[in-house]
Copies of this chain bind each other. A is one copy, B any other.
Amino acid sequence: MAREDDIRAEETLDPEDWESMRALGRRMLDDMLDYARTVRERPPWRHAPDEVEARFQAPLPLDPSPVEEVYEEFRAFVLPYPVGNIHPRFWGWVHGTGTVLGAFAEFLAASMNPNTGGRDFHSAIYVERQVIDWLKEIAGFPRSASGLLTTGCSAANLIGLAVARNAKADRDMRKEGLQACRRRMILYASEEIHSSVQKSAELLGLGSDALRLLPVGDDFRIDRGVLEDAIRRDRRDGHLPFCVVGAAGTTNTGAIDDLDALAEISRKEDLWFHVDGAFGMWAALDSDLKHLVRGIEKADSLAFDLHKWMYMPYDIGGVLVRDEEEHLRTFALRPPYLAHGEGGRGLAGGDLPWFTDYGFELSRSFRALKAWMSMKHHGVRKYARLVRQNVEQARYLAKLVEAAPELDLLAPVMLNVVCFRFAPPGAGEAARDLLNERIVVELQERGVAVPSGTRIRGRYAIRVANTNHRSRREDFDLLVRETIRIGEELAGE
């Protein structure tokens, strides 16, 4: 019916010349492989000069540019100035390393470009279900549990805590909301819990006041008595305690709460037990470390990252929920345009639930593919060895710190995080804080290594969080040597 003469030529975003696009792809492939292979030869981070930042203030590009030119701009102004976390001496915050295979998988996933929010009888759904099943197995969760891959542990904590809130409310939370609830809903975590738990409490409308941040002991873990007292006090005050959040690997020190004890208290008190296992969950992989997270398998919900200690490229995390019904009661919603058919035919005729029924996102990317390919290729035993290797490296670093008279270890090394400082004799606390803050900056600026900083009981600490599959012991030797050298240089000024 379309008549040629009344039709404007139809355009597409497909390449005009597929062969030159292939040639460009090959250059990108070669460049990225070289970039990864030679990463050790470069500094972890180079401070991007002002001229680079200035380039990114160009006006809206109305007209096209050759794709090769755009790639050249990427090569000249984007690629040389990474944050640096693929480098063997990057241990700042908790950044993952990524892998070459993970990057390949992202290319494959974006080439297929499925929307994994739902539908059925397409492979991306099967891949994600499989990955979720594997994660349940690792965490010791039952097969009947539900799960979802997320952008990371922040979204996963949000989902787990939303299910907790809705499951334990004294009204129909989803319909009537928090303002209809009679008793003030309260949740508990240690003062060392990750800030995403507070952000979740705020976003969920509970307010940060509802989050009791319990003081920790010398081991940086929740004290059982402190928790039980807090619950008792809140009940006495007419509130509704509803959730305990355990940390498997705190950001500051890598401390792991006594998850077994928290599970027991939660059961006894009829509270939801959520675990933030961002990186610490992966201790479960190694037979010698597994005891540290004993009790994680008893959680009602468990949040974790795969882009940190499973070394996959950003972004990928996940959440498991023991009681699938509660999970669905919080999130499943089926407007007419997402109607589900019957009879096992057609894209909407297959199994429920869809992944949209487990979270707040309706469109979802195929992030499962990098997990599926990576876990199959490397094998989970290799991940276990690498987690163990990172812990041994952290212990090694702690020993170096303890052996150096110029350095103080500021917290016990429980997993893969080491907090220490340069402590010249005679200097006051304020001077030491300032000095160590400057040491961190210099280590970064001089391209030696990237630790980050934090405060441990008020003291500024140089902090190394090791989720890096490229680090070697010699990298920690260098860090200690340079920390002392720079510390003495700065102290002498």
Nearest chain B residue, comparing its CB with the CB of A152: B363
Among A106, A366, A380, max chain B CB count under 10 A is at: A106
Q: Are the C-beta atoms of B376 and A122 separated by less than 8 Å?
A: no
- Residue A491 is within 8 A (CB to CB) of chain B in the complex: no
The answer to whether B93 and A113 have CB atoms under 8 Å apart is no
Q: Given the complex, which residues of B lie within 8 Å of A376, measured CB to CB?
A: 61, 65, 70, 73
A70 CA to B79 CA in the complex, in Å?
29
Contacts of A80 on B, CB cut-off 8 Å? 123
Q: In the bound complex, do residue A64 and residue B251 qualify as a contact, i.e. CB atoms below 8 Å apart?
A: no
Q: Is there contact, CB below 8 Å, between B333 and A198?
A: yes
Assess the B345–A47 pair: CB atoms within 8 A. yes
Could you tell me the distance between the alpha carbons of A347 and B71 in the complex, rounded to whole angstroms? 26
Name the distance in Å between A175's Cβ and chain B's nearest Cβ.
Answer: 5
Residue-by-residue, is A194-222 near B (CB-CB < 8 Å gives 1, otherwise 0)?
11101111111111111000000000000
Interface residues in A4-49 by Cβ distance below 8 A to B read: 7-8, 10-15, 18, 21-22, 24-26, 28-30, 32-33, 35-37, 45, 47-48
Q: Which of B35, B129, B201, B339 contacts A56 (CB 8 A)?
A: B129
Contacts of A431 in B (CB 8 A): none
CB atoms of B112 and A86 under 8 A apart: yes
Q: Give the interface residue-count category, chain A.
A: 35 or more
Closest B residue to A2 by CB, please name it.
Answer: B473
When A102-B110, A341-B437, A346-B444 are in contact, do A115 and B314 touch as well, CB less than 8 Å? yes
- The residue in chain B whose Cβ has the minimal distance to the Cβ of A53 is B126
Selected from B73, B119, B179, B345, the residue in CB contact (under 8 A) with A207 is B179
Residues of B within 8 A of A96 (CB): 113, 115
Mask, A176-203, CB within 8 Å of B = 1, is 1111110011000000001110111111
Q: Does A414 count as interface, using CB distance less than 8 angstroms?
A: no
Chain B residues, Cβ within 8 Å of A480 = 1
Q: How far is it, in angstroms, between the C-alpha of A83 and the C-alpha of B349 when the chains are bound?
A: 13
CB distance from A444 to the nearest CB of B (A): 5
27 A/B residue pairs, CB under 8 Å, sorted by A: A13-B386, A25-B33, A28-B107, A32-B108, A32-B111, A45-B122, A48-B123, A56-B129, A57-B130, A60-B134, A63-B381, A64-B378, A65-B376, A70-B373, A78-B112, A78-B123, A81-B123, A82-B114, A83-B347, A85-B114, A86-B113, A110-B370, A179-B210, A180-B209, A339-B454, A341-B437, A341-B453
Apart from the given pairs A74-B373, A153-B363, A178-B206, 5 other A-B contacts in the complex at a CB distance below 8 Å: A61-B375, A95-B115, A102-B110, A179-B210, A349-B441
